[in-house]
Amino acid sequence: MAERRAAERIGLSEVARLARVSEATVSRVINRKSGVSTRTREAVERAMTALNVSRRTEGELVLVVVPELANDVFTRLAERIEAELSPFGLHIVLSLAVPGSARERIFVESTVGAGIVGAVFLSASNTMARADHTAQRMLTERRVPFVNVNGGAGGAAAPTYSTDDRRAAELAVDHLHALGHRRIAMLAGPAGNLLADRRADGFRAALRKHGLDGERPLLARQLFTVDGGRSGGADLIAGGATAIVAASDRMALGAASAASRRGLSVPRDLSVVGYDDSPFLDLTAPPLTTVRQPTETLGRHAAQALQLMISGRAAPGGEVLIDPELRIRGSTAACPAGGG
């Protein structure tokens, strides 16, 4: 970057000597890092002006790895992260990559070479039990800080902020149980996906809490798609489910479609709960009850932790679980007579 290269030609020591601060402080001002008082920053900027060091106009880049953008959760998270980082001169660049794929590794390697200063993994390889975690190891080796959202990566100590998926399943089951449902099923994501596995575990635990674990639970594992929801939903309805807890809103809409194909009505014959709180759910027929992921909080915490590390300060390691919220709409109702 122009300003950094100019400062290197002149020498940090000359700027520091003129501003009467340390070279480390000059570096922090040049890179727009936090932790410098307004008075000190102004002194360094005056010294840079006197020494003809041009002010940096371009921002530094943070890589954000996402599996897709069709799911509004990822766009909301990316937008929140950008909003939190941009005041610090940090801007995001998106990489679309299948979790744990060679594309993810190649993209991380190329952007590290281009000078990214940090990375965020949004439900990418950090969600897969058997993913290739070469990308995260590469960042660690090159001392590029990174943060995970919704699942940790390969035992890395990076800060991780996740929706409490077990709690999400519990909220849905509690709601349906209170409506009189006893044949409650779950339409979960693929086995080996950390988030799907957590939701399935939370579902089983909620059934046990309500004394509904006497029989084999009605549980289908499918892709997080409308087609996956339609296929898995058909199997669960055939198994006698009166209510379905889905692992995504798209799966929930697929389950509702499967019910319609059998001549059943939602919520009269089948109650359905989604997950994510996608846009326009108030406009579906009926409006979809769902569990909302706390995207604003997840994005804010992830960005703040990354900004700390980019600034050379420590951020809390390990995983922090953040509570989701049940949004009750029209797709859930009392269990039909004789259907509990």
Q: pLDDT band for position 8 (50/70/90)?
A: very low
165-293: CATH class: alpha beta
Cα separation, 306 vs 317, whole angstroms: 11
- Lowest average pLDDT, out of 39-53, 132-146, 308-322, goes to 39-53
In this structure, of 61-70, 77-86, 126-135, 144-153, the range with the lowest mean pLDDT score is: 126-135
Residue 17: is its pLDDT beyond 80? yes
Contacts of 66 (CB under 8 A, 6+ apart): 74, 77, 78, 94, 95, 96, 97, 122, 123, 124
pLDDT surpassing 80 at residue 259 = yes
Q: What's the longest Cα–Cα distance across the chain?
A: 84
Compute the radius of gyration of the chain from its Cα atoms. 24
pLDDT tens column, 47-59: 877 876 544 435 6
Q: Is the pLDDT of residue 69 over 50?
A: yes
Q: What is the pLDDT of residues 79-134, one digit of tens each?
A: 999 988 887 778 999 988 776 677 888 888 888 878 888 999 987 777 887 777 88
107 versus 301: which is more confidently predicted?
301
How much is the pLDDT for 131?
74
Greater confidence (102 vs 75) lies with 75
278-293 burial: b if 16+ Cβ within 10 Å, else e: beebeebebebbbbbb
* pLDDT on residue 100: 64
Report whether pLDDT(215) > 90. Answer: no
Confidence of residue 275 (pLDDT cuts 50, 70, 90): very high
Identify which has the larger pLDDT, 339 or 110: 110
Do 60-163+295-324 and 165-293 show the same overall fold? yes
Tell me the percentage of the chain whose pLDDT exceeds 70: 89
State residue 57's pLDDT score. 39
pLDDT score recorded for residue 163: 96
pLDDT at 306: 93
Order the strands of the 243-246 sheet from edge to edge.
218-221, 184-188, 243-246, 271-276, 289-292, 325-327
155-174 pLDDT, tens per residue? Answer: 567 899 999 999 999 999 99
DSSP 238-303: HTT-SEEEESSHHHHHHHHHHHHHTT--TTTT-EEEEEE--TTGGGSSSPPEEEE--HHHHHHHHH
What is the CATH superfamily name and number for domain 60-163+295-324? Response regulator (3.40.50.2300)
Q: Where exactly are the structural domains of the chain?
A: 2-50, 60-163+295-324, 165-293
Spatial CB neighbours of 116, under 8 Å, sequence gap ≥ 6:
60, 61, 62, 63, 93, 144
- Using one digit for the tens of pLDDT, what is the confidence trace for 197-214? 999 999 999 999 999 977
DSSP code string of 127-179 = GBTT---HHHHHHHHTT--EEEESS--TT--S-EEEE-HHHHHHHHHHHHHHT
What percent of the chain shows pLDDT beyond 90?
51
